[in-house]
């Protein structure tokens, strides 16, 4: 009987210990507006798995696709208010929360894809991610979404083809100004409403990377995709300052490490996915793909570089640092 009592006591103690361990795990919810089969979702799941491993399961990141916890902007506001732990936004929309992001949103700021990765993987990228610490959130990683181009009901071969055209843009001063300089009418529309806006002719065109044609099915309602590749605007995974400050320094370093690994993981898969989207859109959706001479576009939007640099010494210095890395 004494042996049985001792066995039950040991089992109870073990059960309580396991329960306490389970309760000790901290859940971080990460919201974004892409579907669950999108490359960014897969890369964020990878980050969560690595973070759990690096912290011996002290943390778990649960990724919510399809804007289940709010739109992209709503997510950022929830993060700032400590009502949501993490979110995936992008550099364009983050201009409204941290001005330094506007430096990497400039059209044709990157001389090549390698130049872009040199920026986001290095000190310049880390400076931008850390810049918002006093605004309620920090960036933890950039996830490339490749170059953005124009697509819609007509081919675009020169800025003249955009004159007077209603073009959906993100709610970003840089995106709006770029389309203005190219002669179009910038029209901010929420991502979730863009399919119907293109279908109904509320806007004639939009600008995004090739996966928009397939993952968002925009290839069903547009006829042309013109590869002018004006910007390379990455997704940004952010964490609320409340969640970050609650972590030990060791766990903060683990999250940074997991985020950098997911950044590299994402880079390896992106180019193949973007090309597959173009191939599918062309072969199965009937979208015509055309390449574009970029010179006239670069000339039209170049004033933006000086305009943004004039906004603050910090932005001017950051733009110079980005351009220096092209060499």
Domains, the chain, in order of start with CATH, read 2-144+235-274 (3.40.190.170), 147-232+275-324 (3.40.190.170)
pLDDT in tens, the chain (327 residues): 444 334 334 443 443 444 444 447 999 999 999 999 889 999 999 999 999 999 999 999 999 999 999 999 999 999 999 999 999 999 999 999 999 999 999 999 999 999 999 999 999 999 999 999 999 999 999 999 999 999 999 999 999 999 999 999 998 899 999 999 999 999 999 998 999 999 999 999 999 999 999 999 999 999 999 999 999 999 999 999 999 999 999 999 999 999 999 999 999 889 889 999 999 999 999 999 999 999 999 999 999 999 999 999 999 999 999 999 997
C-beta of residue 248 within 8 angstroms of C-beta of residue 87: no
Residues in a beta bridge with 64: 31
∠ Cα 137 143 146 (to 5°): 135
> Strand pairing of 235-240 and 86-90?
antiparallel
Torsion of CA 255, 258, 263, 264, to 10 degrees: 150
Q: What is the pTM of this model?
A: 0.86
The three state secondary structure string of 99-144 is HHHHHCCCCCCCCCHHHHHHHHHCHHHHHHHHCCHHHCEEEEEEEC
């Amino acid at each position: 009987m004494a042996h049985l009592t001792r066995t039950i006591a040991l089992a109870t103690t073990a059960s309580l210990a396991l329960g306490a361990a389970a309760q000790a795990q901290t859940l971080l919810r990460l919201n974004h507006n892409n579907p669950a089969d999108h490359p960014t979702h897969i890369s964020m799941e990878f980050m969560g798995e690595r973070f759990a491993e690096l912290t011996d399961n002290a943390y778990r990141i649960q990724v919510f696709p399809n804007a289940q916890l709010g739109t992209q902007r709503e997510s950022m506001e929830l993060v700032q208010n400590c009502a949501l732990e993490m979110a995936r936004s992008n550099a364009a929309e983050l201009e409204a929360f941290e001005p330094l992001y506007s430096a990497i949103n400039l059209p044709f700021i990157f001389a090549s894809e390698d130049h872009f990765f040199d920026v986001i993987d290095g000190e310049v990228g880390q400076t931008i991610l850390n810049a918002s610490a006093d605004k309620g959130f920090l960036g933890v990683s950039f996830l490339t979404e490749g170059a953005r181009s124009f697509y819609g009901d007509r081919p675009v071969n020169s800025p003249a083809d955009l004159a007077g055209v209603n073009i959906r843009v993100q709610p970003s001063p840089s995106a709006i100004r770029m389309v203005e300089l190219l002669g179009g009418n910038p029209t901010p529309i929420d991502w979730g409403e863009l399919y119907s806006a293109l279908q109904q002719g509320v806007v004639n065109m939009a600008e995004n990377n090739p996966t928009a044609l397939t993952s968002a099915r925009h290839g069903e309602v547009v006829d042309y995709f013109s590869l002018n590749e004006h910007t390379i605007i990455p997704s940004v995974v952010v964490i609320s300052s409340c969640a970050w400050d609650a972590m030990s320094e060791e766990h903060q370093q683990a999250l940074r490490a997991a985020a950098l690994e997911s950044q590299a993981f994402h880079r390896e898969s992106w180019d193949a996915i973007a090309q597959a989207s173009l191939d599918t859109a062309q072969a199965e959706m009937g979208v015509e793909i055309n390449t574009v001479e970029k010179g006239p576009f670069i000339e039209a939007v170049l004033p933006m570089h000086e305009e943004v640099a004039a906004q603050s010494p910090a932005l001017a210095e950051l733009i110079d640092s980005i351009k220096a890395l092209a060499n």
